[in-house]
C-alpha cells in the first residue's frame, strides 16, 4: 500500500459514480423529514444542534455583556437568572449531549463499520423526533413564563419558583429518551453490524468512544428521567420526596441529579475524545499511539464515572467517609484521562503533521482539555474544593471541558468529515483563522474566571463587588472574540455548501472505512460490501509495535 | 501533621487573604497543584508546538517519521506519575478536610438563619439578630445554620470556609480567624464605606448556592476583632430610639426586596408606603394603613400587591417580634 495523497484534480465527477449520492438520490421535504438514512438523520441533527448552539451562544454573550458592570449592565436580576438558566439548558441538554453522538456518530459510525445503516433505522428517526419535541417543549417553557432555576433544578428552589419548571422538566425527560434511543441503537449497531473481518480491536477509536458513551446513555439517562418526573410530581402534588416542607430531602434531589449528570459529563466528553483520536491520527498520518490503552481508558472512564457523583456535593454535609470515597474515585478518573492526553501528543510526535483546519481544532482541543483536566484535580481535592466549590473556578473548569473540549472536538469532527458529508470543501484559510480566534477567545474568556473564582467570586451572580470588574471585563472581551470566531465559522461553512470547491474522494487520506465509501456516500454507503483484511490505521508503511 | 518539605509559593497571586487556620494548608495544596499543572501543561504545550513545527508535513506524500505505537516504559511512566500526584493531592486534601469537619469543643457558638435574601446572625448569648458577624481573633467559632426557605451557602473566602445551608437540617461550619480586621468606624462610630458604597474592613461573606433574585445581595461582613473589643459586644447595635430600631430591622430583613428610594426591587419601594393607595391582585383597592402593613408582614400571601409576584416570606413572631414590627412602622412613617 502506498501513502495516500488527495488528488483534487481527480475528484469524482457526478457522472462517474456507480450510484447517486445519498444527497441526490431523492429530493423534497419528505425525503428528509421521513428519511431512515442514518446520514440524513445525522445531518438533520447537525442542523438542529448547531441552531441550539447558536441560541445558547447568543445567551452566553448576553450574560457576558450583562456582567460588564458590577451592578449588571442589561437585565434585572430575575431576568438574568432566566437567561443563564436557558443558556445552560440549551447548551447541555439540547446542544452538547446529542451533538457528537447524534450528528457525527450517526453519520460516521455505520461508515466506519462498513455497514449500510444503523441497526434500527426507525428508532433512529424516532430519536430525532423526540429530540425535536423536547426542544419545542423547552421553547414552550420559555414562552410560558421562563425558568430561573439553573440547569440543575435544585430543590426546594425549583419547587417554590412560580415558573414553568414542570414543562421544562418534561422537556428534559423527552430529550433524555431521545438520548437513550440513540445509545441503544449504537450499541446494537456496533455489536451486530461490523464488517466481515472487523474484530473489536480493529474498531476505530471513535467507535469505542461511541460505544462507551452509549452504555452511559442507556444506564444513566433513565435516572434523570425519573428525577425530573419526581420533581414534576413534587411540584404538582407535593408527594414529599424533595421538599422539606412536606418531609422530603432536598439533598436527595442532588444525589439523583448528579447520578445522571456526572456520567453526562462523560456522555459529552467521551465521543469528543473519539473524534480527536480520529482527527489526530489522520492528520499526523500515523497510527494511534497506545490504541488498546486508549480503548480501555474510554471504558474505564465510563465505569468510574458512575461512582463519583458525590464530588458535586462536598459542601452539602456529606459524611467524612462519603467524601473520602468520592474524592478518591474522582482522582482515579484523572489517570485514564491523563493517559489519553499523552497518547494523543505521542501520536502527533514524529508524525507527518498537516496543520489543516480539523487538526488546528484538534490541537486547540488538546490545549484546552489539558486545562480542563488539570483544574478538575483541584476540584477533586477535598480541602481545596471546599474553597472553590460554586465559584467561577468551577464555571471556568466545566466550560473548559464542555465548551473548550467537547464543542471544539465537535467542530474538529465537523471540519474533518465535512468533505465526506457534502462532497465540498470550505475555505481552509478562514477555517484556520476561526480555530485560532476560538482558542484565543476561549482563554481570554475563561482564564480570568479561574482567577476570580480562586479569589472567591461565587457563580450565578447577577451583580458582584467592584473588585472583580476587571476580570469580568476581560472575560466579556474574550466572549466577543469567541463570538466572532463562531460567526465566521458559520459563514464559511454555509458558503461552502453552495460554492465550496469539490472535495477529493478522500480529502485527508484517512484509512478507516468511512473514507472508503464514495464521496458523498451512496444511499447504502458503499459500492461493494467492504471486508476488513489489513491492520487498523495502516498508513502504508506498517505499524511497529 | 504532615509538613511538606517545599513551601509552595503563589505564582499568580490570586488567592484571597489568609485569615483562618485552614488557609495556610489549603493554599499550599492549591499552589502545589498550580505548580504541577503549570509543569505538565507546559510540557504538553511544548511537545505539541515542537512537533507541529518540526514534524510538519512539507510534501504531500511525506510519510510519518516514526510509526511507533507502543512504548512500555513511556506508558508506565505516564501512568505512574499522574497516579502519584493525584493520590498525593487526595491524601493531603483529605487531611485538610478532616480538620474542617470537626469543630473544637470550646468553639464559640453562633446561630445563623438564612432566608431569601439575607442572613440573621445570632452572636453567643444574643437574642436579637445582627446584620454582620463579629468574631474574636484566634478563637475557634462555630456556626449552626438553618434555612427558612431554600438552599443557601455560607461562604467566607478569606477563611476558606464554606457550607451549604439546607432547609430542614442543621448545618455546621467552623473556623478560627487569625487576622484582625474590624470595621472602619468614623468619629460618630458609624461604619465607613468606600467609593462604591461598600463597607470598609471585615472579610466578605457570600451566599454561594443559587437562591434566586437576591442571591448576589446576600453579601455581608465577617469582622475579626480583638478579645477586648469582642467583650464589648460590638454586634449589639440595636439603637435606643424606635425609628432607628426600625431601620435596623429593615436592613436585617427587608433590604434585598424593598428599596427606600422609590426604585422597584422584588417588592414595592417603602418610600411613601404609609398611607399609599394601591390595588391587590384580587382587584380590590386598599390604603396602606398600620393594620394592613402589620398583616403584610405576618401574612404576606393574604393580599398581594398588583404587579408583583407572591414571593414575600412570612415573618413570624419568633423571627420578628411585635415590638420590632412596631419599630418598623415608626420608621416607615419617616420615609416620605
Ligand atoms: Cu462530576
Ligand atoms: Cu444564594
> What would the pLDDT profile of B64-76 be if each residue is shown by its tens digit?
888 888 888 999 9
Asked whether the beta carbons of A282 and A314 are under 8 A apart, the reply is no
What average pLDDT does the structure give for chain A?
90
Interfacial A residues in 369-428 facing B (CB < 8 Å): 370-371, 374-375, 377-378, 380-387, 389-391
pLDDT digits (tens, 9 = 90+) for A175-201: 999 999 999 999 999 999 999 889 999
CA contacts within 13 A on the Cβ side of A160: 23
Which pLDDT score, from 0 to 100, does residue A428 have? 93
Nearest CB partner across the interface for B16, out of A76, A316, A456: A456
Please give the Cα distance from A364 to A359 (Å, whole number). Answer: 8
Select from A338, A454, A458 the Cβ nearest to the Cβ of B206: A458
What would the pLDDT profile of B85-106 be if each residue is shown by its tens digit?
A: 999 999 999 999 998 888 999 9
Closest CA to A485 of A419, A425, A542, A403: A403
**Backbone φ, ψ for residue A343 (5° rounding):** -65, -40
Q: Residue B25's closest CA among B49, B44, B3, B45? A: B3
pLDDT in tens, B221-236: 999 999 999 998 888 8
pLDDT number for residue A122: 95
Residue B210: how many other CB atoms lie within 10 Å? 25
Q: Which domains does chain A have, with CATH numbers?
A: 8-515 (1.20.210.10)
How far apart are alpha carbons B224 and B136 in whole angstroms? 6
Q: Say if residue A109's pLDDT is above 70.
A: yes
pLDDT tens sequence across A364-403: 999 999 999 999 999 999 999 999 999 999 999 999 999 9
For chain B, what are the domain ranges? 108-231, 242-332
- A-chain residues near B16 (CB < 8 A): 455-456
Q: Identify which has the larger pLDDT, A224 or A65.
A: A65
Q: Which of A107, A124, A206 is nearest to A417 (CA)?
A: A107
Which sign does the torsion angle of CA A274, A279, A280, A284 carry?
positive
For residue range B128-185, list pLDDT tens digits in order: 889 899 999 999 999 999 999 899 999 999 999 999 999 989 999 999 999 998 888 8
pLDDT, tens only, A265-274:
898 999 999 9
HEC per residue, A349-371:
CCCCECCCHHHHHHHHHHHHHHH
User: What's the rounded mean pLDDT across residues B310-322?
Assistant: 88
Query: Distance (Å) from the C-alpha of residue B303 to the closest C-alpha of chain A?
Result: 17
What pLDDT is recorded for position A541? 60
Residue A12 confidence (pLDDT) above 60: no
Q: What is the mean pLDDT of chain B?
A: 89
Q: Do B242-332 and B108-231 fall under one CATH topology? A: no
pLDDT for residue A536: 85
d(CA A235, CA A141): 15
The DSSP call for residue A67 is: T
Q: Within 10 Å of residue B70's Cβ, how many Cβ atoms? A: 16
Cα–Cα–Cα angle for B141, B144, B146, rounded to 5 degrees: 150
Chain B residues whose CB is inside 8 A of the A160 CB are 149-150
A358 lies within 8 A of chain B by CB: no
Ligand 2 center–CA B212 separation, angstroms: 7
Classify domain B242-332 at the CATH superfamily level: Cytochrome c-like domain (1.10.760.10)
Element (H, E) at B153: strand B152-156
Share of chain B above pLDDT 90, in %: 55
pLDDT, average across residues A161-166: 75
Set of cell numbers at residue A253: 434531589
What part of B 228-267 touches A (C-beta under 8 Å)?
A: 266
pLDDT surpasses 80 at B333: yes
Cα–Cα distance between B286 and A430 in angstroms, integer?
Answer: 65
Contact B48 A355 (CB under 8 A): no
**Nearest ligand to the C-alpha atom of residue A402:** 1
- Looking at residue B2, its pLDDT comes to 37
Whether residue B194 has pLDDT greater than 80: no
Q: Report, as an integer, the average pLDDT of A136-146.
A: 85
If you measure CA to CA, which chain A residue comes closest to B264? A76
Between positions 266 and 305 of A, the ones with CB within 8 A of B are 284-291, 293
| Nearest ligand atom owner, CA of B151 | 2
DSSP string, B223-254: EEE-HHHHHT-TT----SSHHHHHHHHHHHHT
- Distance, in Å, from the CA atom of A89 to the CA atom of A359, rounded to the nearest integer, reads 30
Measured between CB atoms, which of B12, B90, B168 is closest to A451?
B12
Q: How far apart are CA A303 and CA A270, in angstroms?
A: 12
**CATH homologous superfamily of B108-231:** Cupredoxins -  blue copper proteins (2.60.40.420)
Helix (H, G, I), strand (E, B) or coil at B191: strand
Q: Can you name the residues that pair with A531 across neighbouring β-strands? A: A196
Contacts A323 to B, Cβ<8 Å: 94, 97
Amino acid at each position: 500500500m502506498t501513502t495516500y495523497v488527495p488528488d483534487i484534480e481527480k475528484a469524482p465527477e457526478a457522472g462517474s459514480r456507480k450510484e447517486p449520492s445519498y444527497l441526490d438520490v431523492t429530493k423534497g421535504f419528505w425525503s428528509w423529514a421521513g428519511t431512515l438514512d442514518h446520514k440524513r438523520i445525522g445531518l438533520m441533527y447537525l442542523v438542529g444542534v448547531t441552531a441550539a448552539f447558536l441560541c445558547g451562544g447568543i445567551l452566553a454573550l448576553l450574560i457576558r455583556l450583562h456582567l460588564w458592570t458590577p451592578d449588571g449592565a442589561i437585565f434585572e436580576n430575575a431576568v438574568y437568572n432566566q437567561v443563564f438558566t436557558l443558556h445552560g439548558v440549551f447548551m447541555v441538554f439540547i446542544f452538547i449531549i446529542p451533538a457528537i453522538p447524534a450528528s457525527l456518530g450517526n453519520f460516521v459510525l455505520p461508515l466506519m463499520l462498513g455497514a449500510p445503516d444503523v441497526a434500527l433505522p426507525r428508532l433512529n428517526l424516532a430519536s430525532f423526533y423526540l429530540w425535536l419535541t423536547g426542544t419545542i417543549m423547552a421553547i414552550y417553557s420559555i414562552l410560558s413564563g421562563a425558568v430561573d432555576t439553573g440547569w440543575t433544578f435544585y430543590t426546594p428552589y425549583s419547587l417554590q419558583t412560580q415558573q414553568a419548571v414542570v414543562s421544562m422538566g418534561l422537556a428534559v425527560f423527552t430529550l433524555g429518551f431521545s438520548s437513550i434511543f440513540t445509545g441503544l441503537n449504537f450499541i446494537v449497531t456496533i455489536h451486530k453490524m461490523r464488517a466481515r473481518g472487523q474484530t473489536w480491536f480493529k474498531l476505530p477509536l471513535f467507535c469505542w468512544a461511541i460505544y462507551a458513551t452509549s452504555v452511559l446513555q442507556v444506564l444513566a439517562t433513565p435516572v434523570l428521567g425519573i428525577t425530573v418526573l419526581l420533581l414534576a410530581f413534587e411540584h404538582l402534588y407535593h408527594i414529599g420526596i424533595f421538599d422539606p416542607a412536606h418531609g422530603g430531602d432536598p439533598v436527595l434531589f442532588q444525589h439523583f441529579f448528579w447520578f445522571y449528570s456526572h456520567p453526562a459529563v462523560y456522555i459529552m466528553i467521551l465521543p469528543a475524545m473519539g473524534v480527536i483520536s480520529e482527527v489526530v491520527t489522520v492528520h499526523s498520518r500515523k497510527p494511534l499511539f497506545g490504541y488498546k490503552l486508549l480503548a480501555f481508558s474510554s471504558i474505564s472512564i465510563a465505569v468510574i464515572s458512575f461512582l463519583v457523583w458525590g464530588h458535586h456535593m462536598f459542601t452539602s454535609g456529606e459524611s467524612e467517609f462519603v467524601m473520602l470515597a468520592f474524592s478518591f474515585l474522582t482522582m482515579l478518573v484523572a489517570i485514564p484521562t491523563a493517559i489519553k492526553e499523552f497518547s494523543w501528543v505521542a501520536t502527533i510526535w514524529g508524525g507527518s503533521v498537516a496543520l489543516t483546519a480539523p487538526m488546528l481544532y484538534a490541537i486547540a482541543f488538546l490545549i484546552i482539555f489539558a486545562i480542563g483536566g488539570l483544574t478538575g484535580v483541584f476540584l477533586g481535592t477535598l480541602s481545596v474544593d471546599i474553597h472553590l466549590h460554586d465559584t467561577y473556578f468551577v464555571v471556568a473548569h466545566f466550560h473548559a471541558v464542555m465548551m473548550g473540549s467537547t464543542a471544539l472536538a465537535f467542530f474538529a469532527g465537523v471540519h474533518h468529515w465535512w468533505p465526506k458529508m457534502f462532497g465540498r470543501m470550505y475555505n481552509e484559510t478562514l477555517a484556520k483563522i476561526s480555530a485560532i480566534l476560538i482558542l484565543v477567545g476561549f482563554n481570554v474568556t475563561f482564564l480570568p474566571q479561574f482567577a476570580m473564582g480562586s479569589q472567591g467570586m461565587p457563580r450565578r451572580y447577577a451583580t458582584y463587588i467592584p473588585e472583580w470588574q476587571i476580570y469580568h471585563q476581560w472575560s466579556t472581551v474574550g466572549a466577543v472574540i469567541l463570538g466572532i470566531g463562531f460567526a465566521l465559522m458559520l459563514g464559511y461553512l454555509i458558503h461552502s455548501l453552495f460554492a465550496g470547491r469539490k472535495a477529493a474522494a478522500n480529502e485527508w487520506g484517512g484509512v478507516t472505512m468511512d473514507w472508503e465509501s464514495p464521496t458523498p456516500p451512496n444511499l447504502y454507503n458503499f459500492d461493494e460490501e467492504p471486508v476488513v483484511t489489513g491492520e487498523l490505521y495502516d498508513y502504508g508503511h506498517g505499524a511497529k509495535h | 501533621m504532615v509538613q511538606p518539605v517545599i513551601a509552595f509559593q503563589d505564582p499568580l497571586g490570586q488567592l484571597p487573604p489568609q485569615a483562618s487556620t485552614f488557609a495556610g494548608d489549603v493554599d499550599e495544596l492549591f499552589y502545589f497543584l498550580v505548580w504541577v499543572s503549570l509543569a505538565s501543561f507546559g510540557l504538553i504545550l511544548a511537545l505539541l508546538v515542537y512537533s507541529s513545527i518540526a514534524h510538519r508535513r512539507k510534501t504531500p506524500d511525506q510519510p510519518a517519521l516514526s510509526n511507533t505505537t507502543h512504548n512500555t516504559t513511556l506508558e508506565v511512566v505516564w501512568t505512574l506519575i499522574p497516579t502519584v500526584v493525584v493520590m498525593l493531592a487526595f491524601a493531603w486534601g483529605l487531611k485538610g478536610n478532616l480538620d474542617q469537619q470537626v469543630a473544637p469543643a470550646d468553639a464559640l457558638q453562633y446561630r445563623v438563619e438564612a432566608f431569601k435574601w439575607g442572613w440573621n446572625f445570632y452572636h453567643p448569648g444574643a437574642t436579637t439578630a445582627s446584620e454582620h458577624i463579629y468574631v474574636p481573633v484566634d478563637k475557634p467559632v462555630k456556626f449552626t445554620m438553618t434555612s427558612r426557605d431554600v438552599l443557601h451557602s455560607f461562604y467566607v473566602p478569606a477563611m476558606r470556609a464554606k457550607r451549604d445551608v439546607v432547609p430542614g437540617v442543621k448545618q455546621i461550619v467552623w473556623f478560627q480567624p487569625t487576622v484582625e480586621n474590624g470595621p472602619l468606624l468614623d468619629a460618630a462610630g458609624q461604619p465607613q464605606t468606600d467609593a462604591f458604597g461598600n463597607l470598609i474592613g471585615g472579610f466578605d461573606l457570600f451566599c454561594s448556592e443559587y437562591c434566586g433574585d437576591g442571591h448576589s445581595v446576600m453579601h455581608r461582613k465577617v469582622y475579626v476583632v480583638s478579645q477586648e473589643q469582642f467583650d464589648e459586644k460590638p454586634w449589639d447595635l440595636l439603637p435606643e430610639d424606635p425609628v432607628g430600631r426600625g431601620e435596623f430591622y429593615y436592613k436585617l430583613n427587608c433590604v434585598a426586596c424593598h428599596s427606600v428610594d422609590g426604585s422597584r426591587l422584588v417588592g414595592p419601594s417603602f418610600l411613601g408606603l404609609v398611607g399609599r393607595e394601591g390595588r391587590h391582585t384580587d382587584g380590590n383597592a386598599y390604603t396602606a394603613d398600620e393594620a394592613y402593613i402589620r398583616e403584610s408582614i405576618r401574612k404576606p400571601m393574604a393580599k398581594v400587591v398588583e404587579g408583583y409576584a407572591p414571593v414575600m416570606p412570612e415573618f413570624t413572631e419568633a423571627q420578628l417580634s411585635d415590638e420590632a414590627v412596631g419599630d418598623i412602622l415608626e420608621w416607615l412613617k419617616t420615609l416620605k
